[in-house]
Structure 1
Amino acid sequence: MQVSIKWLKDYIDFDWSAEELADRFTMAGVPVENVIRADEGLDKVVTGRIEKLEKHPDSDHLQICQMNVGEKDLIQIITGAQNVAEGQVVPVAMVGAHLPNGLHIKKGKLRGLPSNGMLCSAGELHLDLTKLTEEEKDGIYILPADTPVGVPAKEVLGLDDVVLEFELTANRGDCFSVLGLVREIAVLTGNKPKWPVIACQEDDAAQASDMVSIGIAAHELCDRFSARVIKNVKIGPSPEWM
């Protein structure tokens, strides 16, 4: 099971680093197998807006982008992508970046003109491709138009996080959820959890017993079983934040 550190901090405060939390979990009998940094390879990737776009004079497919990356001057980046346009905000790998796919960004020249960085696709940033169109998978990843310029792309993409990968055993079923792990952190830190408020709109006209039947075959092992019927549940892909 994998759990986000930021998600845990939504429900309880703690000052430990991800590595220290993983060690304390493991020593408490909740073994952490791996610590995964979601922003690995994104240290020098920022958001940038294409202020000017023109065809390369010596190429049929290359385009010259004048990029606003939040610095005093625009920087020039040459791209072969065809899905870009002036005014778009995109992830920009600056010179010196080491992308998640292993690519090292250096200053260079394309057909005689300098290029100081690279516009990034979703694949080059190791983003989840399952919900993207074919154009979004193959072309430059276009960010929402109101995305601020010059900020770390990991913040905009929700990747400024660390994920703990647990190797839980069957006897720790109480930890197979975010709130279950929050309870463990509360024990380890002595801090008070901030439990989510769950509103339940009950229908007095309907009885659960009319919709589901529960029988207990061995009363000596289980003398009570309670249930709640939830209707109109929507099944679909997890939201981006999750």
Structure 2
Amino acid sequence: MEVVATLAGMSSSRTEALTPSQVRSARAALRALGRAGMAECDVDGQWAIRADASAEHAQSSATAYRCVHDQVVEERCEYRAGGVSQWSVQQAAELKANRAREQAWWDGLEAPERAERRRARQEEFAGLSVVEQERVKIELAERRVRAGVDEAARHDAWVDGHTMDAWVRRSIERQYRYQRLPEPLQQAKAAAWQRHRERFGIARGTPLATSRREHAAALPSTAAGRDEEFLLVDSGGRTTRRDVETG
């Protein structure tokens, strides 16, 4: 059994102890080999490998191989001709249907639960390294692309979906956090975002975002000014300088 497990890639060594799951898988493999006439079990429960498969197994294997071979040849011809295989069509339809189910599930949650789930995932993401964050973003973006989503258009719509006040607040908060990162980490985050934009064709900004960026550029540019402006923004909107000074 250890030999079969090693040859099947379930174990790295014949002397390595098998887990219960690996034992079950190895036994299933041995029974399959027995049905094919390529192994046999004696009265003591010991398995031995036979050199040749049975004629029936050889014939069924050849038939199965021809079916797979013909399907691969057909799909290659469709691909080279610029066509789309039936498998690709079915896969795309299933991915879109699955995304629709996920969206329906999310929309069905109560607002407080959605907010809590979003907060938890944001905290989890923030705790990752730059490399791990980049990997997660790529995986999520590629998943959306496979489901038929235009990632660049989605990002532009998300950017333009902010109100002006929300955009300014977000810009201040991001700048505040970014300036407090060590310089090497700043560079790593900037490089990761640049790679992500290039990978998915995301523009540096929409016309609306450019206008907002010009507006944000008029905000305080010194570190002290940014800190003060950050304090002037609370969860309910923008407070006054007097509120801060007398609070």
Q: Which has the larger radius of gyration?
A: 2
Question: Which of the five TM-score ranges fits, normalised by the shorter chain?
Answer: under 0.3
Between 1 and 2, higher relative CO (CA 8 Å, sep ≥ 6) is seen in 1
**1 or 2, which has the higher helix percentage?**
2
TM-score by length of 1: 0.21
TM-score by length of 2: 0.20
